[in-house]
Structure 1
Amino acid sequence: MNNLQRPDVIVVGAGSAGCVLADRLSQSGRSVLVI
């Protein structure tokens, strides 16, 4: 079974700023991928 979805936003870097950005984007309803 293959269920691939494309994220709306890709955040490169999971430091403190990247995590805050990903959290705020996901709260606004966007699909976020953190690398």
Structure 2
Amino acid sequence: IPRNENIRLYEEGYQRYLEILEEAIENNFEQKW
């Protein structure tokens, strides 16, 4: 895999991770309050 392709895949995975984390935080807040 070319280096720049590797970076692109990493960035896409990181974006998905942030979205999932954000949803989890929102769900936790909804449950607590």
Shared fold per TM-score greater than 0.5: no
As a proportion of its length, which structure holds more strand? 1
Tell me: higher relative CO, structure 1 or 2? Use CA pairs within 8 A at least 6 residues apart: 1
As a proportion of its length, which structure holds more helix? 2
Q: Please give the range of the TM-score, normalised by the shorter of the 2 chains.
A: 0.3 to 0.5
With the length of structure 2 as denominator, give the TM-score of the two structures.
0.45
With the length of structure 1 as denominator, give the TM-score of the two structures.
0.42
User: Which has the greater radius of gyration?
Assistant: 2
